[in-house]
């Protein structure tokens, strides 16, 4: 039986046990992550079947809604085994009617046959770990090999290391944030908290390059839990892009994972140039569903489609 659990009633220790052993496991669904990106998140849970679905809920103008938090690519339904569309449909049907607007993304293992939702495919790019660095690089596209060679020629100009979450987020905000007007100051504060929490829990790491003046030229936060490593926050300056520092960072992390059973997720992009860059490492397209349902009052429907 599927029940709706408010935040205070969720047993987070048991929740994480279910998520971590689920074939659908992805770090975004772990309780610590949800606590940062959506404090007060709720859940649908079938305790007997150990099937669960986080509900990232908000309220605006007195109207309750479900939304996909920033920096949380996928959520959806999690179970102890692979699941067909039926259980996913049942979870979607169990979403309380109080949520008048729904705008969420499922995980790559979830399929939906239930009508009533506008469905759109989204793409990410994934690469299973290779046996060794040589096997990994043999799968790189020719253009990526050229980029890597350029990086290797320029790398001596930079110092490799790490940086603080605040430094990395500041670089991202300066170089990328201006192109994402939806991001507000509170989202950047949340991102610093998210990365800091992940580092304290051993759920990720930062890699970066600094120029001779000590300034951050490129960096990335990689979220890692279980058999998943996610390219959550890459950032770089124009000079860093020119010298292919991100190619070097990604190659280093993929090489580090060689011989493991970890899947590397580039986090995808609808921007053609970024998609080509990620495909160049030999990654494959993997699709997940974006669902939208609008039961807002008629007047509000005019402003939210």
pLDDT digits (tens, 9 = 90+) for 13-55: 999 999 999 999 999 999 999 999 999 999 999 999 999 999 9
pLDDT value at residue 120? 95
Query: Which of left, alpha, beta for 126 (phi over 0: left; psi -120 to 50: alpha)?
Result: beta
pLDDT value at residue 303? 44
Which residue, among 127, 92, 121, 119, has the nearest Cα to 108 in the 3D structure?
121
Angle of CA points 165, 27, 81, to nearest 5°: 175
Joined together, the tokens standing for residue 12 give 């987070």
**CB-CB neighbours of 221 under 10 Å:** 26
- Helix, coil or strand: residue 195: helix
pLDDT value at residue 60? 86
pLDDT value at residue 301? 53
pLDDT digits (tens, 9 = 90+) for 217-259: 999 999 999 999 999 999 999 999 999 999 999 999 999 999 9
**What φ, ψ does residue 43 adopt, rounded to 5°?**
-160, 155
Q: How far apart are CA 59 and CA 155, in angstroms?
A: 48
First to last CA, the chain: 33
Packed helices 245-257 and 142-154: angle between N→C axes, nearest 10 degrees: 110
Which residue, among 262, 248, 263, 18, has the nearest Cα to 126 in the 3D structure?
263
- State how far the alpha carbon of 97 is from the alpha carbons of 16, 189, 216, 289, 303, in Å: 27, 32, 48, 21, 20
Average pLDDT of span 275-300: 89
The verdict on pTM exceeding 0.85 is: yes
Joined together, the tokens standing for residue 271 give 């921007």
**CB-CB neighbours of 8 under 10 Å:** 7
- pLDDT tier for residue 133 given thresholds of 50, 70 and 90: confident
- pLDDT tier for residue 305 given thresholds of 50, 70 and 90: very low
State the chain's mean pLDDT as an integer: 94
Name all domains of the chain by residue range, CATH numbers in brackets.
2-123+287-301 (3.40.630), 130-261 (3.40.630.30)
> Which helix H or strand E contains 138, and what residues bound it?
helix 133-138
pLDDT digits (tens, 9 = 90+) for 136-183: 999 999 999 999 999 999 999 999 999 999 999 999 999 998 889 999
Of the two residues 301 and 160, the one the predictor is more confident about is 160
CA 170 and chain centroid, separation: 19
- pLDDT tier for residue 299 given thresholds of 50, 70 and 90: low
Residue 302 has pLDDT above 50, yes or no: no
Residue 123 has pLDDT above 70, yes or no: yes
């Amino acid at each position: 039986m599927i029940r709706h659990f408010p935040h205070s009633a969720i047993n987070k220790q048991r929740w994480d046990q279910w998520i971590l052993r689920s074939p659908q496991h992805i770090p975004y669904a772990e309780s610590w992550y949800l606590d940062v990106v959506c404090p007060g998140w709720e859940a649908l849970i079938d305790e007997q079947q150990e099937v669960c679905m986080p509900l990232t809920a908000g309220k605006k103008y007195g109207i309750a809604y479900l939304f996909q938090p920033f920096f949380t690519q996928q959520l959806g339904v999690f179970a102890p085994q692979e699941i067909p569309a039926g259980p996913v449909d049942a979870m979607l049907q169990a979403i309380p009617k109080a949520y008048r607007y729904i705008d969420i993304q499922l995980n790559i293992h979830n399929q939906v046959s239930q009508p009533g939702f506008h469905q759109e495919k989204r793409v990410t790019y994934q690469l299973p770990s290779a046996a060794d660095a040589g096997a990994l690089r043999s799968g790189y596209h020719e253009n990526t090999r050229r980029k890597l060679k350029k990086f290797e020629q320029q790398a001596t100009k930079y110092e490799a290391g790490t940086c603080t979450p605040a430094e990395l987020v500041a670089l991202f905000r300066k170089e990328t944030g201006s192109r994402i007007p939806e991001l507000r100051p509170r989202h950047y504060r949340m991102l610093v908290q998210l990365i800091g929490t992940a580092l304290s829990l051993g759920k990720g790491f930062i890699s970066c390059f600094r120029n001779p003046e000590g300034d951050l030229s490129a960096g990335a936060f990689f979220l890692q839990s279980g058999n998943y490593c996610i390219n959550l926050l890459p950032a770089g300056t124009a000079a860093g892009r020119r010298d292919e520092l991100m190619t070097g960072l990604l190659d280093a992390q993929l090489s580090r994972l060689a011989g493991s059973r970890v899947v590397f997720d580039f986090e995808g992009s609808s921007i053609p140039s970024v998609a080509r860059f990620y495909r160049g490492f030999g990654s494959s397209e993997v699709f997940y569903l974006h669902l939208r349902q609008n039961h807002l009052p008629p007047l509000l429907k005019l402003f939210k489609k």
